[in-house]
Amino acid sequence: MARVEIVEVAPRDGLQNEARLLPTEAKLELIERACAAGSRRIEVASFVHPERVPQMADAEAVVAGLEPREDVEFSPSSSTSAATTALLPRVFAR
């Protein structure tokens, strides 16, 4: 039987396009609400240069502020396992 996996990307991709910067606490609340709604894989941040994507300037704080959960996989992860996923931007030469 085919399996479908839904990955919530709002805390990463959705917030990158917002003109207004959200505080870290608001991002953590968004992630917690996604967990409460049943999301099991959530892309929480992207480690990019803050001049390029100011909305991700607090990526380390967001990842550090995540409450560990057995039922949810966060990417990038706050764990130090070899399976940690890091979301890195494509870099193009100018």
List % helix, strand, coil for the chain (3-state, nearest 5): 30, 5, 60
> Taking phi first (over 0 means left), then psi (-120 to 50 degrees means alpha), and beta for anything else, what does residue 79 get?
beta
| Domain residue extents for the chain | 10-75
Interval 67-81 mean pLDDT:
76
Whole-number pLDDT of residue 4? 86
Interval 21-36 mean pLDDT:
96
Higher pLDDT, 37 or 94: 37
- Percent of the chain predicted with pLDDT > 90: 60
pTM, entire model: 0.78
Q: How far apart are CA 75 and CA 78, in angstroms?
A: 8
Residue 84's pLDDT band (boundaries 50, 70, 90)?
very low
